Amino acid sequence: MNDVLEKPVDTHKIREILNANDGARIKTWLSICSRCGLCAESCFFYLTNNRDPRFSPAYKFKSTLAEMYRRKGNVDRDFLRKCYDIIWGECTTCRRCSMYCPFGIDIATMISTARTVCQSQGVVPDGLERTSVNYRETGNQMGMSTDDFLDTCSWMEEETGEELTGLTIPIDKKGAKYMYCLNAREPMYYPQDIGMAAKIFTVAEEDWTMSSTGWEATNLAMYAGDRALAGQVVKNMYEKAVELGVQNIAITECGHAFRSAAFEGPYFAGYAGGKPPVAVVHSVQLFYEYLRDGRIKIDPDKMLTEPVTYQDPCNVSRNGGLWEEGRKLTAFLAKDFREMTPNREHNHCCGGGGGFIPMGPEFKKRRMISGRLKADQIRATGAKIVIAPCHNCYDQINDLNKEYNLGVKVLSFKEIICETMIVPDKFKPVEGDDEE
């Protein structure tokens, strides 16, 4: 990003973005904020940075987006650089503050708009910009080619098939009930995640498919502020789902992917009515239904006995509405469950959301400071296992685990379900089969 700091600011473009977003909501929010300061206490950045008032949500939008409007877009590089630090380095757009504001001002939406302004001038974290290049070139954040992806799937089908007879990873199956969409990290670095999902779907005897394109569920362009690209990313997925005629899109255990696909994507992609063309379901919901309906049974002897706590990912709980499903699902899997406080829709962000994890080493130090709150919350539960149905939470809590010596193990639901479920005999491989 440093090279763009030399370029002149295109104030015309900034004004264009500001005008396009200058609707009734932003006008109202900017004008009625009464500077009561109640939002400060809701923000984990504020709470973990010695209650420095510059970390209060109101201050953050006041010194970024509000200032852009006040100056009618006539801002300089220095200003954008300051905004950069605030909107990416001090906010994960977790939206907790909106619940603590007497007017319900959606500060995260304003921070996102400020990100869009900065992004238009090339002021954007390198880590996110790299993913944008990848999204443009390959449709996924890791820049994985279709061939590599399909190879990975068939490799996993082969490998997991040895454990579970009859396991297949269908690709582009028309009219399937679920089109399972991923986080590109899975095929790239954690292919076993695909294998585990395939096991769960197989045991549940689900009618599912993967897709050769549009399989990327993440949308870091949304966090980079590139709304056009964010629209294109979800469109790839939606259009593939429509083309295959699937009934639902199922999203892997990733928080922001769900927020993008189910809630914000239709707006980025310009779908009237604000609804995705195909229903979107998160893994937490889907896995819960399998266990609730008895399609998957858990072996009581294998249930987790160590104390377990559940990390509510902001984009699954508060911004996804699935906090109860997460708990009920946990109840099937663990004997000793302990709540963090606060929890459910009032949870605190882990500190890894909003693009923070892919933003890379430049932001790591801040991420560890702001994550202290989550570390303290986890430690207070006494849990040894943290379930995190979100890749960013997963990574962040692993980092916090090292930084703060929490001594916990972070697990996804997929991992636990695969370890604890009863595999019916018909799926059990015949002894001696693997000797050849």
Query: In the window 195-234, what residues touch other proteins (CB under 8 A)?
Result: none
Q: Is the CB of 153 or the CB of 251 nearer to other proteins?
A: 251
Between 34 and 305, name the residue whose CB sits nearer to other proteins.
34
Nearest-approach distance from CB 99 to other proteins, in angstroms: 5
40: contact with other proteins by CB under 8 A: yes
Could you tell me how far CA 192 lies from the centroid of its own chain? 19
Give yes or no for residue 82 binding other proteins (CB under 8 A): no
| Binding of residue 428 to other proteins (CB under 8 A) | no
Q: Is 70 in the site for other proteins (CB under 8 A)?
A: no
Assess 370 for contact with other proteins (CB under 8 A).
no
Residue 58 binds other proteins, judged by CB under 8 A = yes
* Non-local CB neighbours of 254 within 8 Å, separated by 6+ positions: 183, 217, 218, 390, 391, 392
d(CA 316, CA 180): 17
Using the rule CB under 8 A, give the single segment among 85-93, 94-102, 279-287, 332-340 that binds other proteins. 94-102
Is residue 62 close enough to count as binding other proteins by CB under 8 A?
A: yes
- Compare residues 69 and 100 and give the one whose CB is closer to other proteins: 100
How far, in Å, CA of 313 to CA of 307, rounded? 19
Q: Does 100 engage in binding with other proteins (CB under 8 A)?
A: yes
Residue 41 binds other proteins (CB under 8 A): yes
For other proteins (CB under 8 A), the number of binding residues is 50
Does residue 42 belong to the site contacting other proteins (CB under 8 A)?
yes
Residue among 5 and 38 whose Cβ is closer to other proteins: 38
Q: Assess 292 for contact with other proteins (CB under 8 A).
A: no
Smallest gap from Cβ 40 to other proteins, in A, equals: 4
How far CA 75 is from CA of 8, 14, 22, 118, 195, in Å, comes to 10, 9, 17, 11, 50
Among 4, 7, 13, 37, binds other proteins (CB under 8 A): 37
Q: Does 99 bind other proteins (CB under 8 A)?
A: yes
CB of 32 to other proteins, least distance (A): 4
In terms of phi and psi (left: phi > 0; alpha: psi -120 to 50; beta: otherwise), the region of 396 is alpha
CA distance 211 to 209: 6
257-286 mask for other proteins (x: CB under 8 A)? Answer: ------x---x----xxxx-----------
**CA 109, CA 10: separation in Å to the nearest integer?**
23
**Encoded amino acid at 233, one letter:** V
Q: Are 52 and 369 in contact (CB under 8 A)?
A: no
Q: Which one of the spans 10-18, 31-39, 128-136, 365-373 is the region binding other proteins (CB under 8 A)?
A: 31-39
From 25-33, 208-216, 286-294, 297-305, give the range in contact with other proteins by CB under 8 A.
25-33
Tokens 């929010």 sit at which residue? 29
Among 7, 51, 302, 335, binds other proteins (CB under 8 A): 51
From the CB of 89, what's the least distance to other proteins, in Å?
Answer: 18
Q: How far is the CB of 375 from other proteins (least distance, A)?
A: 22
Which among 29-37, 210-218, 278-286, 301-309 is the span making contact with other proteins, rule CB under 8 A? 29-37
Q: Is 318 in the site for other proteins (CB under 8 A)?
A: yes
Closest CA to 406 of 386, 388, 421: 386
Residue 104 phi/psi, 5-degree rounding, is 65, 35
Site for other proteins (CB under 8 A): which residue of 7, 76, 85, 103?
Answer: 103
Q: Measured from the CB atom, is 189 or 267 closer to other proteins? A: 267
Give the binding site for other proteins (CB under 8 A).
Answer: 20-25, 27-29, 31-38, 40-42, 46, 51, 53-54, 56, 58-59, 62, 98-106, 263, 267, 272-275, 317-321, 345-346
